[in-house]
């Protein structure tokens, strides 16, 4: 049932009380460039070392790949055009979202998305069309499953699913599989495709036979999918959409009565199974909020209602265009999701002219019990993205076993992995030094897919272009409150 204005007024007094994220991220607005905060000057070397947090200044890499703090090191696990699959074919390019699973004898299994859009001829290293694992033979994207030994040595790489398109983010499930989302709405006959795209597919890293004859989970809708998380208690799935014109939506899927989650169960559902809904927010005065960029202060709390999607398969009209003014709340660049503390952390990477208010990043927390959405992070527009120091464009996120968050930066100019402590201070963890531009006009690809190994000793992350998976190790330490 919808929340009433009175219900929300009662709950709003408690919603901002703070939620633990292996520590709290309730004051992450202290990140460089945040709105509404008086911030200390960044360190002269562009790091947070002068604030006494993190691991110290980033040391330039003589190999020109990854700058890390002293004492840290990295190994290249996969490199498109350089490393090969077990089959002998090249590692596909454009690494994106990644899920980590405990393998046999201390190994880690990593399911790695490859964000490749359009016909296979457009890409020198598409995902190979492995027999039995192909959805649309015209499509270039998909996932690979990478096995890594406990010491970070690559063991092997094989195809998990092929013939999908623009596999961007996704999410792990409590039952040990990976949900990969297609960030596209291409139909059969468009851009060379032979089947409709814009779906979520399930990949089982332990049993690739379970993914034979890939089937989209049509019940989760057809739109430009980003990330997905599962509420292990209630069974809901939450999903983000990265789209504009109009801005995208945040979705909730409620399973049908009597449905029980488990390996391979989602692919058995009918296309209209359960209920897919988009969110609608209102403030403490009961006023409708049209776009999340309206929030200009951390700690802002919105009540949330859920509105049924009329046609989730978007047969004639894109899902986000099926709603008129005043029916749903929108946000630009809805990207990363992470389930923790009984709720979902949700990223809006940035907002520009397509949104009511411009910013360079938001992280929200959705509390399903209170049905509230609380703004935890708000980054102002970075005035000089080419200068090392300030962070902008949060994208994929993960919870750190050492406290707080690890965030992949997908902004302009310099690109980082950066950490946020449980009392809100931030620090750089890595900087991409692989220049894919020129000396006069340097360009650095975004980081994607940060995720820790199950034992917490290794942080895996990707440089999207050309497609490099890295294993980062070092003297990790707990980042607690001051």
User: Across-strand partners of 159?
Assistant: 144
How many whole angstroms from its chain centre is CA 341? 17
141 vs 125: CA distance, rounded Å: 10
In the chain, the number of structural domains is 1
Separation in Å, CA 456 to CA 238, 302, 418, 451? 26, 34, 17, 9
Grouping H, G, I as helix, E, B as strand and the rest as coil, residue 6 is helix
Residue 83 is assigned to a structural domain of this protein: yes
Within a domain: 230: yes
- Does some domain include residue 480? no
Rounded distance, CA 171 to CA 173, Å?
7
Strands 362-367, 343-348: pairing is: antiparallel
Can you give the CATH number for the domain in which 114 is found? 2.120.10.30
**How far out from the chain centre does Cα 189 lie?**
29
Three-class secondary structure of residue 25 per DSSP: coil
Distance CA 405, CA 403 (A): 7
- Gyration radius of the chain's alpha carbons: 21
- pLDDT for the residue 385: 81
Question: Does residue 481 lie within any of the structural domains?
Answer: no
| Torsion sign across C-alpha atoms 306, 310, 313, 319 | negative
Long-range contacts for 409-412 (Cβ within 8 Å, ≥24 apart)?
A: 409/446, 409/447, 410/335, 410/349, 410/446, 410/447, 410/448, 411/350, 411/360, 411/361, 411/382, 411/385, 411/446, 412/382, 412/385, 412/386
- Per the structure, the complete domain to which residue 406 belongs is given by 5-473
Residue 412 burial (CB count, 10 A): 16
Strand, helix or coil for residue 364: strand
Answer whether residue 272 is part of any domain.
Answer: yes
Task: Give residue 423's pLDDT.
Answer: 60
**CB contact at 8 A, 85 and 157:** yes
In a domain, residue 317? The reply is yes
Sheet containing strand 141-148, edge to edge, reads 95-102, 108-114, 141-148, 154-164
Asked whether residue 229 is domain-assigned, the answer is yes
How far are the Cα atoms of 94, 111, 287, 376, 393 from residue 101, in angstroms, in the given order?
21, 8, 43, 28, 27
407 neighbors 25 (Cβ within 8 angstroms): no
Q: Cβ neighbours of residue 369 under 8 Å, at least 6 residues apart?
A: 342, 343
**Phi then psi dihedrals of residue 50, to 5 deg:** -70, -10
Domain presence at residue 316: yes
Q: What is the chain's length?
A: 482
DSSP-based three-state secondary structure for 245: coil
Q: What is the pLDDT along the chain (482 residues), one digit of tens a residue?
A: 444 433 444 443 333 322 223 333 333 333 333 332 322 333 333 334 445 689 999 999 999 999 999 999 999 999 999 999 999 999 999 999 999 999 998 999 999 999 999 999 999 999 999 999 999 999 999 999 999 999 889 999 999 999 999 999 999 999 999 999 999 999 999 999 999 999 999 999 999 889 899 999 999 999 999 999 999 999 999 999 999 999 999 999 999 999 999 999 999 999 999 999 999 999 999 999 999 999 999 899 999 999 999 999 999 999 999 999 999 999 999 999 999 989 999 999 999 999 999 998 998 999 999 999 999 888 888 888 877 777 888 899 998 999 888 999 988 889 999 987 766 567 899 999 999 999 889 899 999 999 999 999 999 999 999 999 999 999 999 876 54
């Amino acid at each position: 049932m919808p929340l009433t204005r009175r219900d929300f007024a009662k709950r709003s007094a408690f919603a901002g009380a703070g939620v633990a994220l292996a520590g709290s991220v309730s004051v992450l607005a202290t990140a460089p460039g945040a709105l509404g905060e008086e911030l200390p000057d960044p360190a002269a070397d562009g790091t947070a070392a002068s604030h006494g947090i993190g691991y110290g200044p980033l040391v330039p890499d003589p190999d020109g790949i990854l700058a890390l703090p002293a004492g840290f090191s990295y190994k290249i696990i996969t490199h498109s055009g350089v490393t090969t699959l077990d089959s002998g074919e090249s590692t596909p390019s454009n690494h994106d979202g990644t899920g980590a699973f405990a393998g046999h004898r201390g190994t880690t299994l990593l399911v790695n998305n490859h964000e490749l859009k359009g016909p296979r001829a457009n890409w020198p290293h598409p995902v190979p069309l492995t027999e039995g694992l192909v959805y649309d033979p015209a499509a270039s994207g998909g996932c690979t499953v990478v096995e890594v030994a406990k010491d970070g040595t690559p063991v092997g790489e094989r195809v998990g699913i092929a013939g999908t398109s623009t596999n961007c983010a996704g999410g792990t499930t409590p039952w040990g599989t990976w949900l990969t989302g297609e960030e596209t709405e291409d139909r059969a006959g468009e851009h060379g495709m032979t089947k409709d795209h814009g779906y979520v597919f399930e990949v089982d890293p332990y049993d690739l036979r379970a993914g034979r004859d890939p089937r989209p989970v049509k019940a989760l809708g057809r739109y430009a999918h980003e990330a997905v998380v599962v509420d292990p208690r209630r069974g809901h799935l939450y999903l983000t959409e990265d789209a504009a014109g109009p801005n995208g939506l945040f979705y909730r899927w409620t399973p049908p009565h009597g449905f029980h989650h488990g390996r391979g169960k989602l692919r058995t559902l009918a296309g209209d199974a359960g209920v897919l809904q988009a969110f609608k927010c209102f403030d403490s005065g009961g006023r409708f909020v049209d776009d999340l960029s309206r929030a200009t202060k951390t700690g802002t709390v919105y009540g949330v209602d859920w509105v049924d999607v009329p046609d989730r398969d978007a047969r004639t009209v894109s899902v986000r265009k099926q709603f008129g003014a005043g029916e749903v709340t929108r946000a630009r660049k809805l990207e990363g999701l992470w389930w923790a503390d009984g709720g979902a952390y949700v990223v809006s990477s940035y907002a520009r002219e397509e949104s009511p208010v411009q910013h360079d990043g938001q992280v929200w927390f959705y509390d399903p019990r209170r049905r509230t959405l609380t703004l935890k992070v708000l980054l102002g527009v970075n005035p000089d993205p080419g200068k090392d120091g300030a962070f902008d464009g949060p994208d994929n996120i993960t919870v750190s076993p050492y406290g707080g968050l690890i965030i992949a930066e997908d902004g302009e100019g310099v690109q980082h992995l950066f950490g946020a402590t449980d009392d809100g201070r931030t620090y750089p963890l890595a900087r991409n030094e692989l220049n894919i531009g020129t000396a006069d006009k340097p360009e650095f690809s975004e980081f994607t897919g940060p995720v820790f190994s199950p034992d917490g000793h290794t942080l895996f992350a990707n440089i999207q272009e050309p497609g490099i998976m890295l294993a980062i190790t070092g003297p990790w330490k707990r980042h607690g409150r001051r």
